[in-house]
Copies of this chain bind each other. A is one copy, B any other.
């Protein structure tokens, strides 16, 4: 199968398929005219790559275990676990950070609501709330 067909079947753009190849994730044969020739298995392979990308893994990380997960159940590939654990730690840190920011925003938004509730021009409390959450 040629690259256009694989692109249609998998939803990955042609550009992306070439990129995956440049990152060592997939290695199609070449026809005499230079065209890439993909085996039927490439379809599953590309879907697998895209799945891991959606998990937020990098092409480099995926390259580290792709050969394994393509040939046996993921749960038997020992290379995968540390990648998952490290990614999980990243994500939980990101979530924690975003949650702090969200809480801060919610506070600040509710201070607007408070202001508009009891009389616009009446700055009773807070002689400058002074970015207090900082």
Contacts and interface: CB of A to CB of B under 8 A. Distances in A.
B48 A131 contact: yes
B98 A95 contact: yes
A55 B105 contact: yes
A81 B106 CA distance: 11
Interface in A9-68: 48, 51, 54-56
Contacts of A1: none
Copies held by the complex: 2
A130 to B, nearest CB: 8
Contacts of A98: 91, 94-95, 98
A105 B91 contact: yes
Interface residues of A, number: 38
B112 A81 contact: yes
Nearest to A83: B105
A115 interface: yes
B55 A111 contact: no
B74 A102 contact: no
Given A55-B104, A74-B111, A75-B115, 19 more contacts: A48-B131, A51-B131, A51-B134, A54-B134, A56-B101, A73-B126, A74-B131, A75-B114, A76-B115, A76-B123, A80-B108, A81-B109, A81-B112, A84-B105, A88-B106, A88-B109, A91-B98, A95-B98, A95-B102
